[in-house]
Amino acid sequence: MRTRIIGTGSCLPETVVTNDDLSKIMDTSDEWISSRTGIRERRLVKEETTASMSIEASKRAMENAGVSAEDIDLIIVATITGDHVTPSTSCEIQAAIGADRAVAFDINAACSGFMFALHIADAYFKSGIYKTALILGAETLSRIMDWNDRSTCVLFGDGAGAAVVRADDTGLLAYDQGSDGAKGMVLACQNRKNNNPLVKNPMDMEYTSMDGQEVYKFAVTKVPSSIKKVLDEAGLTVEDIDYFALHQANIRIIQSVAKRLKVSEDKFPTSLDHCGNISAASVPILLDEMNRKGLLKPGMKIVLSGFGGGLTWGSAVLEW
Ligand code: COA
């Protein structure tokens, strides 16, 4: 038994914000942002919410997969920016699409979240508990950015990506995941403060903060080693892989990973230029764009890799 992706969908907010737009409200420039990151514009929510984009992405993925709400056993949303602490975004999706039979819950593994959700679904399938799942990465990161901090807010965007996965004869061939909580604070965001009058709140860090260079070093060493691990486990080499769909954090990270793996950058499709970094949503949005462009053909071997907050990372190699 393997876990196969049988449909994809995504949803981005309507509002496009270019680097030039940002340079009108803060001391930055298109040249600084695009040369260091590859990002030219991102979509940011106005009316949209994490749930509304997730619901739309789910409907598109189900239509693409040819499944109905009754077919869905499990819904997992990877997010750090659900609209509510409870109910979960996955429960909101369940209600909206009428997947009454499904079990629904959210997970937090930041930018690796979609990869972790894929692995959880795979474990459920292997144990025989469920057969069909809807898995998503969905974020409204613009809500947790400090818009006075130009070193972080220019990097991120909003959006949702979904995939329908099913127990099948082919699909996921190998998987690697890991966490390094000891380095967690290099990319951090505080939750709601405790306003209980009996408690003194010692923390004063409300929005996202990042040590960009530490995150960069982590990504360019951990991602190639994680990808090599899944390839070894699957008995494949980089030459066997048609595409490497990586978390879209920074074009320099992607170029460095390609160089370290000795693979042409042409095999690394990107959505970074028009999406920015959308944390858990990056990989499924990129996958949906590749799918809808007709890049993915049955039998192709694809590597997926996510990395980021936690710190966390997860890679998979799968047959399409
Ligand atoms: N516009 C203009 N200048 C900016 C700026 C912006 N948006 N953001 C920061 N700067 C300035 C800094 O203030 C600093 O100025 P100074 O030298 O006068 O102090 C200068 O640019 C260099 O800043 P620095 O942080 O050293 O830049 P960098 O070369 O490390 O690049 C990143 C910053 C964020 C692009 C880079 O560290 C990176 O890509 N890290 C990985 C981050 C990531 O991908 N995170 C998500 C992972 S899931």
pLDDT mean over 65-73 = 98
SS3 assignment, position 2: strand
| Identity at 111, one-letter amino acid code | C
Which token pair is 137?
A: 């990465």
> What whole-number distance in Å separates Cα of residue 46 and Cα of residue 44?
7
Q: How far is the CA of 224 from the centre of ligand 1 (A)?
A: 23
Q: Which atom of ligand 1 is nearest to the CA of 22?
A: 7
> What whole-number distance in Å separates Cα of residue 42 and Cα of residue 135?
23
Question: Among residues 108, 106, 80, which one has the least CA distance to residue 93?
Answer: 106
Q: Which residue lies with its CA nearest to atom 12 of ligand 1?
A: 151
Determine the pLDDT at residue 162.
Answer: 98
Unique residue bearing structure tokens 């959308």: 278
Determine if ligand 1 sits within 6 Å of the CB of residue 212: yes
Task: Tell me whether residue 291 is one of the annotated catalytic residues.
Answer: no
Q: How far is the CA of 150 from the centre of ligand 1 (A)?
A: 8
Q: Which residue lies with its CA nearest to atom 22 of ligand 1?
A: 151
- Does the pLDDT at position 195 exceed 90? no
Determine the pLDDT at residue 204.
Answer: 62
Question: Among residues 143, 132, 139, which one has the least CA distance to residue 161?
Answer: 139
Unique residue bearing structure tokens 């298109």: 30
- Does the pLDDT at position 202 exceed 70? no
Alpha-carbon 128 to chain mean position:
26
CA distances from 247 to 71, 115, 269 (A): 29, 10, 11
Q: Which residue lies with its CA nearest to atom 9 of ligand 1?
A: 151
> What whole-number distance in Å separates Cα of residue 171 and Cα of residue 235?
15
> What whole-number distance in Å separates Cα of residue 219 and Cα of residue 250?
10
SS3 assignment, position 203: coil
pLDDT mean over 160-184 = 97
Determine the pLDDT at residue 205.
Answer: 60
Q: How confident is the model at residue 206 (pLDDT cuts 50, 70, 90)?
A: confident
Determine the pLDDT at residue 197.
Answer: 81
Determine if ligand 1 sits within 6 Å of the CB of residue 267: no
| Identity at 154, one-letter amino acid code | V
Determine if ligand 1 sits within 6 Å of the CB of residue 150: yes
Q: Which atom of ligand 1 is nearest to the CA of 110?
A: 48
Determine if ligand 1 sits within 6 Å of the CB of residue 209: no
Determine if ligand 1 sits within 6 Å of the CB of residue 216: yes
Q: How far is the CA of 182 from the centre of ligand 1 (A)?
A: 23
Question: Among residues 62, 48, 63, which one has the least CA distance to residue 13?
Answer: 48
Task: Tell me whether residue 201 is one of the annotated catalytic residues.
Answer: no
- Does the pLDDT at position 201 exceed 80? no
Determine if ligand 1 sits within 6 Å of the CB of residue 213: yes
Determine if ligand 1 sits within 6 Å of the CB of residue 19: no
Determine the pLDDT at residue 19.
Answer: 98
Determine if ligand 1 sits within 6 Å of the CB of residue 249: yes
Determine the pLDDT at residue 200.
Answer: 74
> What whole-number distance in Å separates Cα of residue 309 and Cα of residue 252?
18
pLDDT mean over 69-88 = 97
- The mean predicted confidence, pLDDT, of the chain is 96
Alpha-carbon 267 to chain mean position:
19
| % of residues, the chain, pLDDT over 70 | 98
pLDDT mean over 229-246 = 98
Q: How far is the CA of 151 from the centre of ligand 1 (A)?
A: 5
Residues 132-169: pLDDT tens digits? Answer: 999 999 999 999 999 999 999 999 999 999 999 999 99
- Does the pLDDT at position 1 exceed 70? yes
Q: How confident is the model at residue 193 (pLDDT cuts 50, 70, 90)?
A: confident
pLDDT mean over 273-283 = 98
Unique residue bearing structure tokens 């505080």: 190
Q: Tell me phi and psi for residue 224, to 5 degrees.
A: -60, -40
Which of 111, 213, 278 to mutate for ligand 1's pocket (most ligand atoms within 8 Å of CB)? 213
Q: Which of 19, 250, 277, 291 does the annotation list as catalytic?
A: 277
Determine if ligand 1 sits within 6 Å of the CB of residue 215: yes
Determine if ligand 1 sits within 6 Å of the CB of residue 23: no
| % of residues, the chain, pLDDT over 90 | 95
Q: Which of 11, 91, 111, 189 does the annotation list as catalytic?
A: 111
